[in-house]
Structure 1
Protein backbone atom coordinates (compact mmCIF):
# COMPACT_ATOMS: atom_id res chain seq x y z
CA UNK A 1 0.00 0.00 0.00
CA UNK A 2 1.44 3.37 -1.03
CA UNK A 3 1.53 6.43 1.24
CA UNK A 4 -1.08 8.16 -0.92
CA UNK A 5 -3.54 5.29 -0.55
CA UNK A 6 -2.84 5.13 3.19
CA UNK A 7 -3.64 8.84 3.64
CA UNK A 8 -6.76 8.51 1.50
CA UNK A 9 -8.05 5.63 3.64
CA UNK A 10 -7.34 7.55 6.85
CA UNK A 11 -9.28 10.49 5.43
CA UNK A 12 -12.15 8.15 4.67
CA UNK A 13 -11.98 6.93 8.27
CA UNK A 14 -12.38 10.50 9.54
CA UNK A 15 -15.39 11.04 7.28
CA UNK A 16 -16.95 7.79 8.48
CA UNK A 17 -16.65 8.82 12.12
CA UNK A 18 -18.15 12.20 11.24
CA UNK A 19 -21.30 10.83 9.66
CA UNK A 20 -21.84 8.41 12.55
CA UNK A 21 -21.56 11.35 14.94
CA UNK A 22 -24.11 13.29 12.90
CA UNK A 23 -26.57 10.40 13.28
CA UNK A 24 -26.60 11.15 17.03
CA UNK A 25 -27.76 14.73 16.48
CA UNK A 26 -31.43 15.70 16.52
CA UNK A 27 -34.07 13.10 15.71
CA UNK A 28 -34.21 9.41 16.71
CA UNK A 29 -31.37 7.19 15.56
CA UNK A 30 -33.72 5.22 13.29
CA UNK A 31 -35.21 8.40 11.87
CA UNK A 32 -31.77 9.89 11.29
CA UNK A 33 -30.64 6.78 9.41
CA UNK A 34 -33.76 6.85 7.23
CA UNK A 35 -33.19 10.53 6.39
CA UNK A 36 -29.55 9.77 5.55
CA UNK A 37 -30.70 6.95 3.26
CA UNK A 38 -33.24 9.13 1.46
CA UNK A 39 -30.54 11.75 0.88
CA UNK A 40 -28.23 9.06 -0.51
CA UNK A 41 -30.53 8.52 -3.50
CA UNK A 42 -29.99 11.91 -5.21
CA UNK A 43 -26.27 11.74 -4.42
CA UNK A 44 -26.04 8.34 -6.10
CA UNK A 45 -28.11 9.49 -9.08
CA UNK A 46 -25.94 12.58 -9.51
CA UNK A 47 -22.91 10.29 -9.75
CA UNK A 48 -24.27 7.57 -12.04
CA UNK A 49 -25.84 9.97 -14.54
CA UNK A 50 -22.31 11.12 -15.41
CA UNK A 51 -20.88 7.61 -15.78
CA UNK A 52 -21.43 4.82 -18.34
CA UNK A 53 -23.95 2.13 -17.49
CA UNK A 54 -22.34 -0.79 -15.60
CA UNK A 55 -21.89 -4.19 -17.26
CA UNK A 56 -24.67 -6.71 -16.62
CA UNK A 57 -22.39 -8.86 -14.49
CA UNK A 58 -22.05 -6.00 -11.98
CA UNK A 59 -25.79 -5.96 -11.19
CA UNK A 60 -25.73 -8.97 -8.78
CA UNK A 61 -22.88 -7.36 -6.85
CA UNK A 62 -24.79 -4.08 -6.52
CA UNK A 63 -27.95 -5.86 -5.33
CA UNK A 64 -26.00 -8.00 -2.85
CA UNK A 65 -24.25 -4.90 -1.52
CA UNK A 66 -27.60 -3.13 -1.13
CA UNK A 67 -28.96 -5.98 0.97
CA UNK A 68 -25.79 -6.07 3.11
CA UNK A 69 -25.97 -2.31 3.63
CA UNK A 70 -29.59 -2.63 4.73
CA UNK A 71 -28.51 -5.06 7.44
CA UNK A 72 -25.63 -2.80 8.44
CA UNK A 73 -27.84 0.27 8.86
CA UNK A 74 -30.64 -1.65 10.54
CA UNK A 75 -28.40 -3.11 13.25
CA UNK A 76 -26.33 0.05 13.67
CA UNK A 77 -29.34 2.33 14.12
CA UNK A 78 -30.89 -0.01 16.69
CA UNK A 79 -27.54 -0.26 18.52
CA UNK A 80 -27.37 3.53 18.77
CA UNK A 81 -30.88 3.52 20.23
CA UNK A 82 -29.60 1.65 23.30
CA UNK A 83 -25.87 2.52 23.43
CA UNK A 84 -23.42 5.40 23.15
CA UNK A 85 -21.23 6.26 20.16
CA UNK A 86 -18.03 5.48 22.07
CA UNK A 87 -19.22 1.93 22.84
CA UNK A 88 -21.31 0.89 19.85
CA UNK A 89 -18.88 2.22 17.25
CA UNK A 90 -15.79 0.32 18.51
CA UNK A 91 -17.64 -2.99 18.76
CA UNK A 92 -19.43 -2.63 15.43
CA UNK A 93 -16.36 -1.46 13.54
CA UNK A 94 -13.83 -3.52 15.49
CA UNK A 95 -15.21 -6.97 14.84
CA UNK A 96 -15.70 -6.30 11.13
CA UNK A 97 -12.05 -6.42 9.95
CA UNK A 98 -11.47 -9.59 11.95
CA UNK A 99 -14.37 -11.27 10.14
CA UNK A 100 -13.29 -9.86 6.77
CA UNK A 101 -9.69 -10.97 7.23
CA UNK A 102 -10.73 -14.50 8.27
CA UNK A 103 -13.13 -14.81 5.34
CA UNK A 104 -10.52 -13.35 3.02
CA UNK A 105 -8.18 -16.24 3.75
CA UNK A 106 -10.64 -18.51 1.95
CA UNK A 107 -12.36 -16.18 -0.52
CA UNK A 108 -9.72 -13.72 -1.77
CA UNK A 109 -6.47 -14.01 -3.70
CA UNK A 110 -4.85 -10.87 -2.23
CA UNK A 111 -1.37 -11.35 -0.78
CA UNK A 112 -1.30 -10.02 2.78
CA UNK A 113 2.02 -10.39 4.62
CA UNK A 114 2.19 -11.93 8.12
CA UNK A 115 3.19 -8.58 9.64
CA UNK A 116 0.11 -7.01 8.09
CA UNK A 117 -2.07 -9.65 9.70
CA UNK A 118 -0.27 -8.89 12.97
CA UNK A 119 -1.17 -5.24 12.45
CA UNK A 120 -4.80 -6.22 11.87
CA UNK A 121 -4.72 -8.28 15.09
CA UNK A 122 -3.28 -5.37 17.10
CA UNK A 123 -5.93 -3.10 15.63
CA UNK A 124 -8.57 -5.60 16.73
CA UNK A 125 -7.13 -5.75 20.24
CA UNK A 126 -7.20 -1.98 20.50
CA UNK A 127 -10.75 -1.82 19.22
CA UNK A 128 -11.96 -4.49 21.64
CA UNK A 129 -10.19 -2.69 24.49
CA UNK A 130 -12.08 0.43 23.49
CA UNK A 131 -15.36 -1.47 23.77
CA UNK A 132 -14.54 -2.97 27.17
CA UNK A 133 -16.69 -0.49 29.08
CA UNK A 134 -19.90 -2.21 28.08
CA UNK A 135 -18.96 -4.97 30.54
CA UNK A 136 -17.30 -2.89 33.26
CA UNK A 137 -19.23 0.39 33.40
CA UNK A 138 -22.75 -0.93 33.81
CA UNK A 139 -23.88 0.02 30.31
CA UNK A 140 -26.74 -1.72 28.53
CA UNK A 141 -25.67 -5.04 27.07
CA UNK A 142 -28.66 -4.94 24.74
CA UNK A 143 -26.43 -3.08 22.30
CA UNK A 144 -24.16 -6.12 21.82
CA UNK A 145 -26.30 -8.24 19.44
CA UNK A 146 -27.07 -5.17 17.34
CA UNK A 147 -23.44 -4.03 17.26
CA UNK A 148 -22.22 -7.51 16.34
CA UNK A 149 -24.92 -7.81 13.69
CA UNK A 150 -23.67 -4.53 12.25
CA UNK A 151 -20.12 -5.89 12.27
CA UNK A 152 -21.15 -9.03 10.38
CA UNK A 153 -22.99 -6.94 7.79
CA UNK A 154 -19.98 -4.62 7.50
CA UNK A 155 -17.65 -7.56 6.86
CA UNK A 156 -20.10 -8.87 4.25
CA UNK A 157 -20.37 -5.65 2.30
CA UNK A 158 -16.62 -5.08 2.59
CA UNK A 159 -15.93 -8.31 0.72
CA UNK A 160 -18.82 -7.79 -1.70
CA UNK A 161 -17.78 -4.23 -2.50
CA UNK A 162 -14.11 -5.01 -2.93
CA UNK A 163 -14.83 -7.76 -5.44
CA UNK A 164 -17.78 -5.97 -7.06
CA UNK A 165 -15.77 -2.80 -7.70
CA UNK A 166 -13.07 -4.88 -9.37
CA UNK A 167 -15.65 -6.53 -11.63
CA UNK A 168 -17.11 -3.11 -12.42
CA UNK A 169 -13.80 -1.46 -13.25
CA UNK A 170 -15.31 1.89 -12.17
CA UNK A 171 -15.36 2.24 -8.38
CA UNK A 172 -17.04 5.67 -8.43
CA UNK A 173 -19.98 4.51 -10.57
CA UNK A 174 -20.24 1.29 -8.57
CA UNK A 175 -20.59 3.26 -5.33
CA UNK A 176 -23.13 5.57 -6.95
CA UNK A 177 -25.37 2.65 -7.95
CA UNK A 178 -25.08 1.13 -4.49
CA UNK A 179 -26.19 4.44 -2.97
CA UNK A 180 -29.29 4.44 -5.16
CA UNK A 181 -30.17 0.82 -4.35
CA UNK A 182 -29.20 1.07 -0.67
CA UNK A 183 -31.11 4.32 -0.16
CA UNK A 184 -34.30 2.96 -1.72
CA UNK A 185 -34.12 -0.39 0.08
CA UNK A 186 -33.49 1.02 3.55
CA UNK A 187 -35.91 3.95 3.36
CA UNK A 188 -38.70 1.81 1.89
CA UNK A 189 -38.01 -1.06 4.28
CA UNK A 190 -38.09 1.11 7.40
CA UNK A 191 -41.23 2.94 6.29
CA UNK A 192 -42.85 -0.47 5.82
CA UNK A 193 -41.70 -1.60 9.28
CA UNK A 194 -42.14 1.64 11.24
CA UNK A 195 -44.60 3.72 9.24
CA UNK A 196 -44.18 7.13 7.63
CA UNK A 197 -43.37 8.67 11.00
CA UNK A 198 -39.72 7.72 10.49
CA UNK A 199 -39.56 10.36 7.76
CA UNK A 200 -40.37 13.11 10.26
CA UNK A 201 -38.02 15.81 11.44
CA UNK A 202 -37.60 19.47 10.64
CA UNK A 203 -35.32 21.29 8.24
CA UNK A 204 -32.36 20.90 10.61
CA UNK A 205 -32.77 17.11 10.70
CA UNK A 206 -32.84 16.93 6.91
CA UNK A 207 -29.86 19.29 6.57
CA UNK A 208 -27.91 17.17 9.03
CA UNK A 209 -28.93 14.03 7.16
CA UNK A 210 -27.75 15.57 3.91
CA UNK A 211 -24.37 16.45 5.43
CA UNK A 212 -24.08 12.93 6.84
CA UNK A 213 -24.89 11.46 3.40
CA UNK A 214 -22.17 13.51 1.71
CA UNK A 215 -19.61 12.47 4.35
CA UNK A 216 -20.78 8.86 4.05
CA UNK A 217 -20.37 8.90 0.27
CA UNK A 218 -16.88 10.38 0.50
CA UNK A 219 -15.80 7.79 3.06
CA UNK A 220 -17.33 4.92 1.13
CA UNK A 221 -16.10 5.91 -2.33
CA UNK A 222 -12.52 6.40 -1.14
CA UNK A 223 -12.55 3.04 0.64
CA UNK A 224 -13.98 1.12 -2.30
CA UNK A 225 -11.49 2.74 -4.67
CA UNK A 226 -8.66 1.81 -2.28
CA UNK A 227 -9.82 -1.82 -2.38
CA UNK A 228 -9.18 -1.84 -6.13
CA UNK A 229 -5.51 -0.90 -5.69
CA UNK A 230 -4.61 -2.47 -2.30
CA UNK A 231 -5.43 -5.69 -0.37
CA UNK A 232 -9.07 -5.65 0.78
CA UNK A 233 -8.34 -6.96 4.29
CA UNK A 234 -5.66 -4.31 4.80
CA UNK A 235 -7.91 -1.47 3.64
CA UNK A 236 -10.72 -2.79 5.85
CA UNK A 237 -8.42 -2.77 8.88
CA UNK A 238 -7.01 0.72 8.26
CA UNK A 239 -10.50 2.06 7.78
CA UNK A 240 -11.27 1.06 11.36
CA UNK A 241 -8.94 3.80 12.60
CA UNK A 242 -12.14 5.82 12.31
CA UNK A 243 -12.56 4.76 15.93
CA UNK A 244 -9.78 7.20 16.87
CA UNK A 245 -11.70 9.99 15.21
CA UNK A 246 -14.96 8.88 16.82
CA UNK A 247 -13.35 8.95 20.26
CA UNK A 248 -12.02 12.46 19.64
CA UNK A 249 -15.45 13.62 18.46
CA UNK A 250 -17.07 12.03 21.49
CA UNK A 251 -14.56 13.73 23.80
CA UNK A 252 -14.41 17.19 22.21
CA UNK A 253 -17.96 17.54 20.89
CA UNK A 254 -20.19 15.35 23.06
CA UNK A 255 -18.24 15.70 26.31
CA UNK A 256 -17.54 11.98 26.77
CA UNK A 257 -14.78 11.11 29.23
CA UNK A 258 -11.28 10.29 27.97
CA UNK A 259 -10.43 7.42 30.30
CA UNK A 260 -7.11 5.53 30.60
CA UNK A 261 -8.87 2.58 28.95
CA UNK A 262 -9.68 4.70 25.90
CA UNK A 263 -6.16 6.14 25.77
CA UNK A 264 -4.65 2.63 25.82
CA UNK A 265 -7.02 1.49 23.12
CA UNK A 266 -6.11 4.50 20.98
CA UNK A 267 -2.40 3.67 21.36
CA UNK A 268 -3.02 0.07 20.29
CA UNK A 269 -4.94 1.21 17.23
CA UNK A 270 -2.12 3.55 16.20
CA UNK A 271 0.34 0.69 16.77
CA UNK A 272 -1.71 -1.54 14.48
CA UNK A 273 -1.61 1.10 11.73
CA UNK A 274 2.20 1.36 12.09
CA UNK A 275 2.59 -2.42 11.79
CA UNK A 276 0.60 -2.50 8.55
CA UNK A 277 3.09 0.01 7.11
CA UNK A 278 6.29 -1.86 7.99
Structure 2
Protein backbone atom coordinates (compact mmCIF):
# COMPACT_ATOMS: atom_id res chain seq x y z
CA UNK A 1 0.00 0.00 0.00
CA UNK A 2 1.45 3.36 -1.00
CA UNK A 3 2.05 6.16 1.55
CA UNK A 4 -0.50 8.32 -0.29
CA UNK A 5 -3.16 5.63 -0.16
CA UNK A 6 -2.41 5.02 3.54
CA UNK A 7 -2.67 8.75 4.34
CA UNK A 8 -5.94 9.19 2.46
CA UNK A 9 -7.63 6.25 4.19
CA UNK A 10 -6.30 7.21 7.63
CA UNK A 11 -7.61 10.77 7.28
CA UNK A 12 -10.93 9.35 6.13
CA UNK A 13 -11.12 7.12 9.22
CA UNK A 14 -10.84 10.09 11.59
CA UNK A 15 -13.42 12.07 9.63
CA UNK A 16 -15.77 9.07 9.49
CA UNK A 17 -15.69 8.43 13.24
CA UNK A 18 -16.31 12.12 13.90
CA UNK A 19 -19.45 12.45 11.79
CA UNK A 20 -20.83 9.15 13.12
CA UNK A 21 -20.38 10.42 16.67
CA UNK A 22 -22.27 13.62 15.82
CA UNK A 23 -25.11 11.68 14.14
CA UNK A 24 -25.45 9.48 17.22
CA UNK A 25 -25.44 12.47 19.56
CA UNK A 26 -28.12 14.31 17.56
CA UNK A 27 -30.24 11.12 17.55
CA UNK A 28 -32.24 12.28 14.53
CA UNK A 29 -34.29 10.33 12.02
CA UNK A 30 -34.41 10.38 8.21
CA UNK A 31 -34.97 14.13 8.34
CA UNK A 32 -31.36 14.47 9.57
CA UNK A 33 -30.18 12.30 6.67
CA UNK A 34 -31.99 14.56 4.23
CA UNK A 35 -30.66 17.73 5.85
CA UNK A 36 -26.95 16.91 5.76
CA UNK A 37 -27.24 15.35 2.29
CA UNK A 38 -28.95 18.48 0.97
CA UNK A 39 -26.38 20.74 2.64
CA UNK A 40 -23.51 18.81 1.06
CA UNK A 41 -24.82 19.56 -2.46
CA UNK A 42 -23.77 23.24 -2.61
CA UNK A 43 -20.48 22.45 -0.84
CA UNK A 44 -19.30 19.89 -3.39
CA UNK A 45 -21.51 21.05 -6.28
CA UNK A 46 -18.93 23.16 -8.20
CA UNK A 47 -16.42 20.28 -8.23
CA UNK A 48 -19.07 17.73 -9.24
CA UNK A 49 -20.38 19.97 -12.02
CA UNK A 50 -16.90 20.48 -13.46
CA UNK A 51 -16.19 16.74 -13.38
CA UNK A 52 -19.57 15.90 -14.92
CA UNK A 53 -18.89 18.27 -17.82
CA UNK A 54 -15.33 17.06 -18.41
CA UNK A 55 -15.90 13.30 -17.87
CA UNK A 56 -15.87 11.63 -21.28
CA UNK A 57 -16.82 8.13 -20.16
CA UNK A 58 -20.59 8.55 -19.87
CA UNK A 59 -22.55 5.39 -20.70
CA UNK A 60 -25.59 3.40 -19.61
CA UNK A 61 -23.32 1.35 -17.33
CA UNK A 62 -22.04 4.50 -15.62
CA UNK A 63 -25.65 5.57 -15.02
CA UNK A 64 -26.37 2.17 -13.44
CA UNK A 65 -23.33 2.57 -11.19
CA UNK A 66 -24.45 6.02 -10.03
CA UNK A 67 -28.04 4.96 -9.36
CA UNK A 68 -26.82 1.84 -7.57
CA UNK A 69 -24.51 3.76 -5.26
CA UNK A 70 -27.32 6.18 -4.39
CA UNK A 71 -29.66 3.33 -3.38
CA UNK A 72 -27.02 1.37 -1.46
CA UNK A 73 -25.89 4.40 0.51
CA UNK A 74 -29.48 5.41 1.28
CA UNK A 75 -30.12 1.96 2.74
CA UNK A 76 -26.87 2.18 4.71
CA UNK A 77 -27.70 5.56 6.24
CA UNK A 78 -31.26 4.61 7.15
CA UNK A 79 -30.18 1.38 8.86
CA UNK A 80 -27.25 3.10 10.58
CA UNK A 81 -29.50 5.74 12.12
CA UNK A 82 -31.99 3.12 13.25
CA UNK A 83 -29.13 1.25 14.90
CA UNK A 84 -27.90 4.37 16.68
CA UNK A 85 -31.38 5.09 18.02
CA UNK A 86 -31.80 1.52 19.32
CA UNK A 87 -28.26 0.61 20.36
CA UNK A 88 -24.84 1.84 21.52
CA UNK A 89 -22.37 3.69 19.30
CA UNK A 90 -19.51 1.74 20.90
CA UNK A 91 -21.05 -1.56 19.67
CA UNK A 92 -22.97 -0.69 16.49
CA UNK A 93 -20.09 1.22 14.94
CA UNK A 94 -17.27 -1.31 15.60
CA UNK A 95 -19.47 -4.23 14.52
CA UNK A 96 -20.45 -2.51 11.29
CA UNK A 97 -16.93 -1.34 10.52
CA UNK A 98 -15.49 -4.81 11.24
CA UNK A 99 -18.09 -6.70 9.20
CA UNK A 100 -17.68 -4.38 6.23
CA UNK A 101 -14.04 -5.16 5.34
CA UNK A 102 -14.49 -8.90 5.79
CA UNK A 103 -17.44 -8.97 3.40
CA UNK A 104 -15.93 -6.49 0.94
CA UNK A 105 -12.71 -8.53 0.84
CA UNK A 106 -14.67 -11.70 0.12
CA UNK A 107 -16.74 -9.97 -2.55
CA UNK A 108 -13.63 -8.44 -4.09
CA UNK A 109 -12.14 -11.93 -4.23
CA UNK A 110 -15.15 -13.26 -6.14
CA UNK A 111 -16.33 -10.28 -8.19
CA UNK A 112 -13.17 -8.25 -8.82
CA UNK A 113 -10.76 -11.20 -8.97
CA UNK A 114 -8.56 -9.83 -6.17
CA UNK A 115 -6.55 -12.45 -4.26
CA UNK A 116 -7.29 -13.22 -0.59
CA UNK A 117 -4.12 -14.63 1.05
CA UNK A 118 -4.21 -16.95 4.08
CA UNK A 119 -2.97 -14.10 6.27
CA UNK A 120 -5.97 -12.04 5.22
CA UNK A 121 -8.28 -14.90 6.16
CA UNK A 122 -6.65 -15.05 9.61
CA UNK A 123 -7.16 -11.32 10.05
CA UNK A 124 -10.83 -11.72 9.12
CA UNK A 125 -11.30 -14.48 11.69
CA UNK A 126 -9.75 -12.32 14.44
CA UNK A 127 -12.06 -9.46 13.50
CA UNK A 128 -15.14 -11.67 13.75
CA UNK A 129 -14.02 -13.00 17.15
CA UNK A 130 -13.33 -9.49 18.43
CA UNK A 131 -16.77 -8.31 17.37
CA UNK A 132 -18.46 -11.23 19.12
CA UNK A 133 -16.62 -10.47 22.38
CA UNK A 134 -17.15 -6.74 22.08
CA UNK A 135 -20.88 -7.29 22.57
CA UNK A 136 -20.31 -9.35 25.72
CA UNK A 137 -20.56 -12.78 24.12
CA UNK A 138 -23.62 -15.00 24.64
CA UNK A 139 -24.42 -13.34 27.98
CA UNK A 140 -24.13 -9.80 26.75
CA UNK A 141 -27.82 -8.95 27.22
CA UNK A 142 -30.62 -7.72 24.96
CA UNK A 143 -29.28 -4.25 24.14
CA UNK A 144 -25.79 -5.45 23.08
CA UNK A 145 -27.38 -8.18 20.96
CA UNK A 146 -29.70 -5.66 19.31
CA UNK A 147 -26.70 -3.40 18.71
CA UNK A 148 -24.85 -6.39 17.22
CA UNK A 149 -27.74 -7.19 14.85
CA UNK A 150 -27.86 -3.62 13.57
CA UNK A 151 -24.08 -3.55 13.26
CA UNK A 152 -24.05 -6.72 11.16
CA UNK A 153 -26.76 -5.34 8.89
CA UNK A 154 -24.95 -2.05 8.41
CA UNK A 155 -21.68 -3.91 7.85
CA UNK A 156 -23.28 -5.96 5.10
CA UNK A 157 -24.30 -2.78 3.29
CA UNK A 158 -20.81 -1.32 3.84
CA UNK A 159 -19.21 -4.36 2.25
CA UNK A 160 -21.64 -4.21 -0.68
CA UNK A 161 -21.30 -0.51 -1.46
CA UNK A 162 -17.52 -0.62 -1.03
CA UNK A 163 -17.14 -3.23 -3.78
CA UNK A 164 -19.80 -1.56 -5.94
CA UNK A 165 -18.09 1.83 -5.67
CA UNK A 166 -14.64 0.32 -6.20
CA UNK A 167 -15.96 -1.10 -9.47
CA UNK A 168 -17.29 2.33 -10.40
CA UNK A 169 -14.11 4.31 -9.76
CA UNK A 170 -11.49 1.71 -10.74
CA UNK A 171 -13.16 -0.08 -13.66
CA UNK A 172 -15.58 2.50 -15.08
CA UNK A 173 -13.21 5.33 -14.06
CA UNK A 174 -15.99 7.50 -12.62
CA UNK A 175 -14.46 10.48 -10.75
CA UNK A 176 -14.78 9.86 -6.98
CA UNK A 177 -16.44 13.20 -6.24
CA UNK A 178 -19.01 12.49 -8.94
CA UNK A 179 -19.66 9.04 -7.48
CA UNK A 180 -20.31 10.41 -4.01
CA UNK A 181 -22.32 13.35 -5.33
CA UNK A 182 -24.73 10.97 -7.06
CA UNK A 183 -25.34 9.35 -3.68
CA UNK A 184 -26.04 12.72 -2.03
CA UNK A 185 -28.46 13.71 -4.82
CA UNK A 186 -30.27 10.38 -4.49
CA UNK A 187 -30.71 10.78 -0.74
CA UNK A 188 -31.85 14.39 -1.12
CA UNK A 189 -34.49 13.52 -3.72
CA UNK A 190 -35.79 10.28 -2.21
CA UNK A 191 -35.98 11.59 1.36
CA UNK A 192 -37.44 15.01 0.52
CA UNK A 193 -41.13 13.93 0.79
CA UNK A 194 -40.44 12.52 4.25
CA UNK A 195 -38.48 15.60 5.33
CA UNK A 196 -41.23 17.88 4.03
CA UNK A 197 -43.82 16.11 6.19
CA UNK A 198 -41.57 16.60 9.21
CA UNK A 199 -40.42 20.10 8.35
CA UNK A 200 -40.74 21.24 11.96
CA UNK A 201 -38.08 18.69 12.97
CA UNK A 202 -35.85 19.76 10.08
CA UNK A 203 -36.10 23.38 11.19
CA UNK A 204 -35.42 22.42 14.81
CA UNK A 205 -32.29 20.48 13.83
CA UNK A 206 -31.00 23.43 11.82
CA UNK A 207 -31.89 25.95 14.52
CA UNK A 208 -30.51 24.04 17.50
CA UNK A 209 -27.59 22.10 15.96
CA UNK A 210 -26.40 24.13 12.98
CA UNK A 211 -22.60 23.69 13.57
CA UNK A 212 -22.92 19.91 14.09
CA UNK A 213 -25.12 19.47 11.00
CA UNK A 214 -22.71 21.47 8.85
CA UNK A 215 -19.74 19.41 10.10
CA UNK A 216 -21.62 16.19 9.28
CA UNK A 217 -22.45 17.51 5.79
CA UNK A 218 -18.80 18.26 5.05
CA UNK A 219 -17.17 15.25 6.72
CA UNK A 220 -19.69 12.66 5.53
CA UNK A 221 -18.95 13.28 1.86
CA UNK A 222 -15.33 14.33 2.43
CA UNK A 223 -14.40 11.13 4.26
CA UNK A 224 -15.82 8.88 1.59
CA UNK A 225 -14.36 10.90 -1.28
CA UNK A 226 -10.91 10.31 0.23
CA UNK A 227 -11.64 6.57 0.34
CA UNK A 228 -12.85 6.56 -3.26
CA UNK A 229 -9.68 8.30 -4.44
CA UNK A 230 -7.62 5.67 -2.60
CA UNK A 231 -9.65 2.94 -4.32
CA UNK A 232 -8.65 4.28 -7.75
CA UNK A 233 -5.12 2.97 -7.22
CA UNK A 234 -5.33 0.64 -4.18
CA UNK A 235 -7.10 -2.78 -3.98
CA UNK A 236 -10.24 -3.05 -1.85
CA UNK A 237 -8.65 -5.73 0.37
CA UNK A 238 -6.22 -3.09 1.69
CA UNK A 239 -8.43 0.00 1.77
CA UNK A 240 -11.45 -1.55 3.52
CA UNK A 241 -9.55 -2.95 6.54
CA UNK A 242 -7.46 0.19 7.11
CA UNK A 243 -10.61 2.27 7.44
CA UNK A 244 -11.32 0.38 10.66
CA UNK A 245 -8.85 2.49 12.64
CA UNK A 246 -11.96 4.59 13.21
CA UNK A 247 -13.26 1.80 15.48
CA UNK A 248 -10.97 2.87 18.33
CA UNK A 249 -12.06 6.49 17.99
CA UNK A 250 -15.75 5.58 17.98
CA UNK A 251 -15.43 3.34 21.05
CA UNK A 252 -13.71 6.12 22.97
CA UNK A 253 -16.32 8.69 21.97
CA UNK A 254 -19.23 6.35 22.73
CA UNK A 255 -17.97 5.09 26.09
CA UNK A 256 -16.54 8.37 27.41
CA UNK A 257 -18.44 11.25 25.81
CA UNK A 258 -21.84 9.55 25.40
CA UNK A 259 -21.56 7.73 28.73
CA UNK A 260 -22.15 4.21 27.34
CA UNK A 261 -19.66 2.82 29.89
CA UNK A 262 -17.53 -0.35 29.88
CA UNK A 263 -14.63 1.58 28.40
CA UNK A 264 -11.90 -0.87 29.41
CA UNK A 265 -13.61 -4.00 28.08
CA UNK A 266 -14.93 -2.43 24.89
CA UNK A 267 -11.65 -0.67 24.15
CA UNK A 268 -9.75 -3.90 24.75
CA UNK A 269 -11.83 -5.84 22.23
CA UNK A 270 -11.72 -2.90 19.83
CA UNK A 271 -7.92 -3.23 19.94
CA UNK A 272 -8.30 -6.94 19.05
CA UNK A 273 -10.48 -5.93 16.09
CA UNK A 274 -7.89 -3.41 14.93
CA UNK A 275 -5.16 -6.07 15.33
CA UNK A 276 -7.15 -8.31 13.01
CA UNK A 277 -7.51 -5.38 10.62
CA UNK A 278 -3.75 -4.82 10.72
CA UNK A 279 -3.05 -8.47 9.86
CA UNK A 280 -5.56 -8.26 7.03
CA UNK A 281 -4.08 -5.04 5.70
CA UNK A 282 -0.50 -6.35 5.86
CA UNK A 283 -1.28 -9.54 3.93
Length-normalised TM-score, structure 1: 0.86
The answer to whether the 8 A contact 1:40-1:180 is kept is no
The C-alpha deviation readout for 1:79-109, integer Å capped at 9, x for no partner, is 1111121122122222222222222222112
State the partner residue of 1:21.
21
Aligned-CA RMSD value: 2.6
Q: Which moved more, 1:25-34 or 1:150-159?
A: 25-34
State the partner residue of 1:249.
253
Distance, in Å, in 2 between the alignment partners of 1:128 and 1:10 is: 25
Structure 1 consecutive aligned stretches of length 4 or more whose deviation exceeds 6 Å: none
Which structure 2 residues correspond to residues 147-158 of structure 1 after superposition, within 5 A? 147-158=151-162
Distance, in Å, in 1 between the alignment partners of 2:179 and 2:49 is: 12
Match of 1:101 among 105, 112, 126: 105
Shift of 1:149: 2.8
State the partner residue of 2:235.
231
Length-normalised TM-score, structure 2: 0.85
Distance, in Å, in 2 between the alignment partners of 1:244 and 1:189 is: 37
State the partner residue of 1:110.
114
Q: Which moved more, 1:161-170 or 1:14-23?
A: 161-170
Unpaired segments ≥5 residues, structure 1:
none
Match of 1:182 among 183, 187, 206: 187
The answer to whether the 8 A contact 1:94-1:128 is kept is no
Q: Which moved more, 1:212-221 or 1:233-242?
A: 233-242
Distance, in Å, in 1 between the alignment partners of 2:193 and 2:80 is: 15
The answer to whether the 8 A contact 1:123-1:237 is kept is no
Distance, in Å, in 2 between the alignment partners of 1:273 and 1:92 is: 13
The C-alpha deviation readout for 1:161-202, integer Å capped at 9, x for no partner, is 1101121342233223332233333x326437x644452324
The answer to whether the 8 A contact 2:88-2:147 is kept is no
State the partner residue of 2:202.
199
